[in-house]
A and B are shown apart, each in its own frame.
Chain A
């Protein structure tokens, strides 16, 4: 089955679209046109591939986790090592792509939103490399909790603007970035960090991230001579999951996205819109999201800042409703245990986000056999999370 969404209007079935102020519509049309023009342009592709290879460090490894496999004694477990990307996460795949596009569009300035700072740092990195002026919106609460990342962005030449509205976290930072964009739309490119936002972002970010899946497919065929049986990835906005899923859609490989169940799905303190949310519009597209009966957005919770978002990319909503992927969830506690397990068994500290995907092994490995193959997308490294993990485990540093 060939999957050919979104449609011309940026819809994935009933999801997606462009729900933004009229002021931005022309900019979105321009972006769409520019992207359509360059995405298959040989020079653009060559340049993108050049930076993927020489700067990001692609291809990243597809690593056979021998110790972890031994530990469970069931399916063979592989890790796609996005944590080895420059910067330590998959986010840079997207920001380098968008920066190259923004350069061609003649933009001089980049803005971005960030939660814990991963996408902010990735944006600042791309901005430094390609000499853009860059400003990153970050909830005031987050700037305090993640002051090291704020300084990291500053070192990269980016100004971080603390956002004091709403819940002062990621979703408000995104609101504020959109407000900036509305105001400075002619000079500025808005660099969205996941497969969320109005069309063409979910499509474009997916395309920049699908390199993860393309490589995985090629590497798996080379190593094992066949396709994997399962692919597991965490879902915040959904970009790393979409990136690794996309080339496998419709091939029969089981695609499993893991949302953060936070304190537990029943506590109401989680970040699992696909599992527990309702359809609605947030940040420019229609998708599942956490909201009350009047459509007011509810705050998300996850121990992992990168998954702490009340929405999700619209294509995942489509995948869910059409059975192209399954979605499940993992609590903070389960993610913490997986963080520790992978560290001990493989000497690899996963990002807490990625630890959610690793944790899902506990729930599904029993139904696999030694002949099965699982790929987990290790979307980022865990060094950024060591303090959070220590706090959660009650270790005083």
Chain B
């Protein structure tokens, strides 16, 4: 029987940690993108280094659709437990392809990856065989594959390179010759020039482009990849990257770096960020800039350390003692991640307040192709002033912002203090100055208002139902709504979370029905909207088992809610 896949195919690789799913995906992603396919991948994995079952979804499609699909078209199981692990996602159409003992599913095709590899000389080539096989299925030019493999393994010995080329070729042939499968997906030359990025890379490159030159962090999944990316950029760029002893050291070092004149960023996850709460409060008091990337994972406590959730919004909104302003961004796309991270530095330097970039495991570990970035019309703003002898770091000014000096740049002195202070930065207990300083800090939030990115409306302006989401759920939800083809439903996505855009209430109030989609258990964004606007969103679609929403699931849940209404 022939399995046909048109315009969109979902291939899932599954196997134990350490079996090489990541390397197959690494090869495939570049090969498929470079041959002109729209590529999307996302991974889910267990909190272990070896064993267990992990899986990576790869979507190749004619359109740029970057949502997470529950449906699996082709499953390539590398371990025994793979099929069982994914059974809820297998359909009657699903094809399981792989080694004999792993292909006991009803629709299976045996391809002896390991045996072929062993023939070439070593079992380890089986991953390259598998990659070749998928390339063959998708009709990727063989020469492209071979050239790529030579490049990919360039640092290895010639023998290894040669054998990998054989491996990819053998896999390719099997895939190409396989008659049971026919995949028809458009390619485009345009895509070949695209960037292929993960969420973590988009955040990191954005930071780089924003002038980030000092990175502090303590390793923590899923935020470590941003640390590692920044470290890799430090080879060719002037960046100090320091792994600190703990997260408290991280935040305090980051603030020291900004004080001296660097543009510093920290990256962490919820638990690490919780430890920084006191430091965030210091940031506010000394009116320091600060850019902080927080990749969420399911809590509380250690929770599910390698999985995804949007459960730390409240923490990021309110971390730190006392009242003070902050900015919270939550990109929905790679483009947003890049531009927001880039702009975060200017913005933080200008308003002298923390800017948080809130992502999650699903976002940082997802990868797809996008157009190259526009680097024109952007400048790293020189926000530092040369100081005069009478310089006062916390001067009261007309525009409400105190010009920021740094040590030894001018004739003045730069004094900052965690106690309440006077304009010069020295401790004060003067009640009137206290009030003026609180007001000054608070007022900056007003100044920010004009910079707020409005929420993005997808769909018609005169919607009946408005579905609301924030951060990483955007692509999946957008695709779900597109597939529902219901003209009455529009989507409102917030990539700028706090302070909330002034039009928020109007958007919500216009709808007959509002539904919020959040990857957490309490609807934290809905609470923020309510506490700010008073608007109570009608329905919540919440998910908190550690996995991202899928297109299918959202279609279903939204349909149910719409139908419920009709009854």
Same complex: no
Q: Which residues of A contact B (CB under 8 A)?
A: none
